[in-house]
Amino acid sequence: MSKISLEEQERRAEAARQFSHSTRMSGGRVPPSAEASIAAYVRGEIDEAEMLRRARAEYGLPAEHNTSECPASGQSVGRMVEIPGSDEWKITCPECGAWWHGGGVLLPKH
Domains and CATH numbers, the chain: 1-64 (1.10.8), 65-110 (no CATH)
pLDDT digits (tens, 9 = 90+) for 11-43: 999 988 888 888 888 888 888 888 999 999 999
pLDDT in tens, the chain (110 residues): 568 999 999 999 998 888 888 888 888 888 888 899 999 999 999 988 888 888 888 877 766 654 445 656 666 666 677 777 777 777 777 667 776 665 555 555 55
DSSP for 35-102? Answer: HHHHHHHHHTSS-HHHHHHHHHHHTT--S--S----TTT---B-EEEE-TTSS-EEEE-TTT--EEES
Q: Which of 61, 13, 22, 21 is nearest to 41 (CA)?
A: 13
Q: Are 46 and 72 a contacting pair, CB within 8 Å? A: no
